[in-house]
Amino acid sequence: METNIFFKDTFEYNWHCNQELLELFEKEQQNIPEKSIQLLNHLINAHQIWISRILEQKASVGVWEIQSLEELKNHNTANFNQSMAILKTMDLGMKINYSNSKGISFSNSAQDILFHVINHSTYHRAQITSDLKTNNIDPLNSDYIFYKRE
């Protein structure tokens, strides 16, 4: 599978799962544990921060900043759209120089960063699933294979 097609599929999956979680959070708003709220904000904010690094822009959110569900929905969609634009316009082998939140400089390919965004989101959605189960809320099944089944 061509790299860009793979990333297009995975970013569609990522957007879809995040939107489903946001809908679940709206439905169960009074019952959602604080940890899950923090993790969902973090994974959407981190995606936005990585896009800013790729595009050499200043991030507009903090990595652990808490936003409203409506803001998160908007950021999730903006993250998806910007990820698609990066896939269409950028050489994924291009080295991206950036600094982390502590000011330490690093360099990675755009492809490595995009793969990290997907992995990072999946990791935190699994934590959210565990937290929701612990708090007696039926979690979202966000396994990629279930998303892709016909």
In this predicted model, what pLDDT tens digit does every residue of 75-134 receive, in sequence order? 999 999 999 999 999 999 999 999 988 899 999 999 999 999 999 999 999 999 999 999
Q: Which residues sit opposite 99 in a β-bridge?
A: 105
Is 3-148 a CATH 1.20.120.450 domain?
A: yes
pTM for the whole structure: 0.94
Spans of all domains in the chain: 3-148
Question: Which parts of the chain are beta strand (E)?
Answer: 95-99, 105-109
Is the pLDDT at 150 greater than 50, yes or no? yes
Is the pLDDT at 54 greater than 50, yes or no? yes
Enumerate the H helices of 55-109 as residue ranges.
Answer: 69-89
